Structure 1
Amino acid sequence: MSSLQEFAESRGFDSQLEAWDVAYWRRKQKRHLFNFDETQLREYFPFDHVFVSLLELCSDLFGISFEEVADNVPKWHPDVRFFNIFDASGEYLASFYLDPFQRPSEKLQTRSDSAWSLGIRSRSDIAKMLPITNLVFNFTPPTSEEEPVLLTFAEVTLLFQKVRK
Structure 2
Amino acid sequence: MPPHNPPGGAAVGRLSDLPLLEAKAICYLRLWCAGPEAQAEVWNAFAAHGPDAAQERMRDFEELVSSMIRMARRPLQRRHLGCACVSGDESAFGHMIAAAAIGEREDAMLLASLLVRPEAWMPLVILAEQVGLSLARMHLPMPASVRSTHPQTLRKH
TM-score normalized by the length of structure 2: 0.27
Higher relative contact order (CA 8 A, sep 6+): 2
**What is the TM-score of this pair, normalised by structure 1?**
0.26
Rg (Cα) greater in structure: 1
User: Greater share of helix residues, 1 or 2?
Assistant: 2
